[in-house]
Amino acid sequence: MAEMKDNRQEEVEKKEIVIPEEQEQSSKSKILNALVNEEDDSEKKDLEHLKDVLQALSINGLWFRKQLGVLSLILFGIIIYISNRYQAQSEMIEEDKLHKELQDWKYRSMTRNSELTFRCRQSQLEEQMKAMGDSTLCSSNEPVYELTNND
């Protein structure tokens, strides 16, 4: 009786071992058949080939369903990354544009300031008065007299 139980256990173990090998061989043969018979409908064959490859890799719909949360999180992160990069690029372009405009206004201001300084010099004012024909104003030949406060 003990021998019969041992024989049955050995048969069960052999069956368990044989079944995965047969499945592995059948999936490999499907893949090989898919690779060899490329002359059939290409679209249909491509789908079958992909299906066989995924089956050989033990990736099926159940795995995708389990990993759906992770995959959606990765997809969401990629979308956020791309939109953030686009936003940052837009801001950098705007900043460069404003910086160039600021430089332009600084140069204009410096030009106006130098023109004003040039026109307000005493020698320039005298020349303008002579050109207009105003002879009543002239520069003083005497030095400036300083008033002091003796409080």
| In a shared domain, residues 55 and 87 | no
Please report whether residue 5 resides in a domain: no
**In whole angstroms, how far apart are CA 67 and each of 22, 73, 130?**
28, 10, 92
pLDDT digits 0-9 by tens, 125-137: 888 888 887 667 6
Please report whether residue 31 resides in a domain: yes
Please report whether residue 104 resides in a domain: yes
- Token pair belonging to 25: 């061989």
Spatial CB neighbours of 30, under 8 Å, sequence gap ≥ 6:
52, 55, 56
How many domains is the chain partitioned into structurally?
A: 2
- Compute the C-alpha angle 137/111/127, nearest 5°: 20
pLDDT digits 0-9 by tens, 83-139: 999 999 999 999 999 999 999 999 999 999 999 998 888 888 888 888 887 667 677
The residue segments making up the domain with residue 107 are 69-127
Question: Does the global pTM surpass 0.85?
Answer: no
Please report whether residue 17 resides in a domain: yes
Using CA atoms, how far apart are residues 102 and 104, in angstroms rounded to an integer? Answer: 5
| In a shared domain, residues 37 and 81 | no
Please report whether residue 86 resides in a domain: yes
Using CA atoms, how far apart are residues 74 and 114, in angstroms rounded to an integer? Answer: 60
